[in-house]
Structure 1
């Protein structure tokens, strides 16, 4: 099993930390540590002071080394079905530090372009969504939803990734049959693939792990808790490391559901809970990106993964929108769709206060 490379410790720590924040009980999710890690490492390369310290506290101090390893994992080679985009899109009047431009330019699939956010935001949206869709082979068609980017965006950093792996030993479709799956809503039959083979297998600390190999150094790990729960417990770097170290080639009768997972999420909340708070404030310091003060206004992420008898196909995209620091960011959602409290005030006095649990419509205003 020593021939199977292991993730870097700092990358694994980042992965398990952010994955923990993305868990919603009873809900499937997928995301790309490669895509998110790439944009965070690029932001770190352009940050300073407390902004840099907070990013480094999550991804590790050697973000330059991480970028190199992330690049290597997405490097082209004959027979490898993989594509990547690293795009930097700015208006022509934003000065950029040469070092940061070179950081982006040296990444695989780099594209640096001047765009007109203020005069043609919808055209920019269409272009970037098109580039992401092209890179991800159509699996992610709309990274930027309607209304984004707003006209006051000063910089947009985009990473997209697509990969398709074929099993070294495909599952036989004739052996796929329904088996009960203990889902959060109760057991239900799902199409389940079967294969008996000698596979890397491990058990440690109440978990099991099996590794399925594809070509060109691609592997899919499946981690299964011994005890059924609506949502698997959060992982830790120590647990994952122990499972990797415990792997041995074992004759295994594997039953694995076919599955597809898709997730679309804003990462600002999860990253803030992990300590990355300054980058969205007027005090953000991205001095090594531009002499103009910049702050992050949004980080969007989408990912999709499909696993079937032939192999696995995945795609992800991450977009970082930056405004001039000190300007208000895009509108915050505030939808009153649940019981609420109200207060009507004048001067120093609260004239009325109450709670609404089930609104009664008084009719249109006269």
Structure 2
């Protein structure tokens, strides 16, 4: 089929969650309660969130590498692909709908998902969640009016014109700069020189950024370098943070789960810890979306218990092209010469090579950044004091604290408590330390 020429779309999802080097905000008293920023979603948005969460677990499993840390934002990937899905038709649209668990046909999905995107940007004292979308287009390529209207109105995507054919590297630098700015400088040099070619006609980008202080800060003086058991069974010295406070947690089937809220209680980190250092892979393999939803519901309804919590400081950076993973998950047509994105633009158009017949997705670049440490806000300490229960001498002594010691491989996620949307998902199975115990 040498007479056919398919122009290329590149899809980008860049996400970061960073440790917050926050100081006490000048406009917030340390004794003033920090109020939760509310979010309300209707039925279509709730269905979209359920679909994104189901896709999250599918993509997580498909992209795992044995014995390695993992961290990704399937929500970001879903939003970015959703921009392309709006223009998909036929088999291309059907495969994307099934693989990504999109809940509406292409011409309705951005409208349904727009409310979800609205909840993904907020800021308050010592925390910030933001998402941003953008579409970069070849200078003279016109978008169909319906497509342009929807990505602008519902995805709030800014449209930028560049010259991929005559200045691919200049376009790459401009896009990388936008991504770096959208992630507060954490995701740099996302696109490599080979990611953009003269055949590139559109780049669809989503960026998600989260920065928040713990609702209950860790005392840096309590952080100790101690053994962390890796999946191999080897032990490596790593900094383990420690605090004693009251947390929601549950335990069943050889696993413990704990909720670690951030300031404002809009977002939480949930850690799933096996009793055995080698128990994580089986849990990951067997966990279904329904199982995960049940875990999170039960955790939300659990009573807070006095707990001694130990968890490592974490830093993970990953970059991957998800193309092959998404093909194997059931969406090959979007990446082939048979792709149909005719709902996005009509090709050829004036100025395009006459043999061009359409668009296909060439790459899905996903880069993530995770940084977790002890940092918390001063207001959180006041909240922790409020959790102390004073007992009279006649009452029974309280039960001993629950021990939650994450010194072995674990699965974790960050989710929006207001909507249930899973923002990030990962595993921590090896530390950054290079010094095994005994060396």
TM bin, normalised by shorter chain, reads 0.7 to 0.9
Structure 1 residue ranges (4+ consecutive) displaced by more than 6 angstroms after TM superposition: 3-7
**Residue 298, structure 1, aligned to residue 345, structure 2:** no
Deviations 1:156-184 (A, max 9, x none): 11111211011111111111112211113
| Alignment partner of 1:223 out of 264, 272, 279 | 272
List gaps (5 residues or longer) in structure 1.
315-366
Structure 2: distance between partners of 1:16 and 1:302? 18
Deviations 1:114-151 (A, max 9, x none): 10001111100100001101111111111111233111
Q: How far 1:201 moved relative to its partner?
A: 0.8
Q: How far 1:91 moved relative to its partner?
A: 1.3
Q: How far 1:231 moved relative to its partner?
A: 5.4
Structure 2: distance between partners of 1:58 and 1:202? 32
**Residue 141, structure 1, aligned to residue 188, structure 2:** yes
Tell me the equivalent position of 2:65.
24
Structure 1: distance between partners of 2:83 and 2:113? 8
Deviates more, 1:259-268 or 1:4-13: 4-13
Deviates more, 1:294-303 or 1:75-84: 75-84
Deviates more, 1:183-192 or 1:268-277: 183-192
**Residue 242, structure 1, aligned to residue 294, structure 2:** yes
Tell me the equivalent position of 1:196.
244
Structure 1: distance between partners of 2:152 and 2:372? 33
| Alignment partner of 1:281 out of 314, 336, 349 | 336
CA contact (8 A) 2:144 2:345 kept: yes
Which residues in structure 2 correspond to 1:1-366 (within 5 Å)?
A: 8-62=49-103, 64=109, 67-79=113-125, 80-107=127-154, 110-185=157-232, 186-216=234-264, 217-229=266-278, 232-233=281-282, 234=284, 235-247=287-299, 248=302, 249-292=304-347, 293-310=358-375
CA contact (8 A) 2:117 2:131 kept: no
Structure 1: distance between partners of 2:115 and 2:243? 33
List gaps (5 residues or longer) in structure 2.
1-37, 41-45, 348-357, 378-413, 415-439
Q: What number of residue pairs does the alignment pair up?
A: 311
CA contact (8 A) 1:204 1:242 kept: no
Structure 1: distance between partners of 2:153 and 2:171? 23
Tell me the equivalent position of 2:15.
none
TM-score (norm 2): 0.66
Higher relative contact order (CA 8 A, sep 6+): 2
Distance 1:21 1:14, change over 3 A: same
TM-score (norm 1): 0.79
Structure 2: distance between partners of 1:231 and 1:98? 49
The secondary structure found in structure 1 opposite 2:165 is: coil
Structure 2: distance between partners of 1:4 and 1:39? 22
Question: Considering only aligned residues, what root-mean-square deviation do their CA atoms show, in Å?
Answer: 2.5
The secondary structure found in structure 2 opposite 1:228 is: coil
CA contact (8 A) 1:87 1:110 kept: yes
Deviations 1:253-294 (A, max 9, x none): 111100111110000011011001000112111121112221
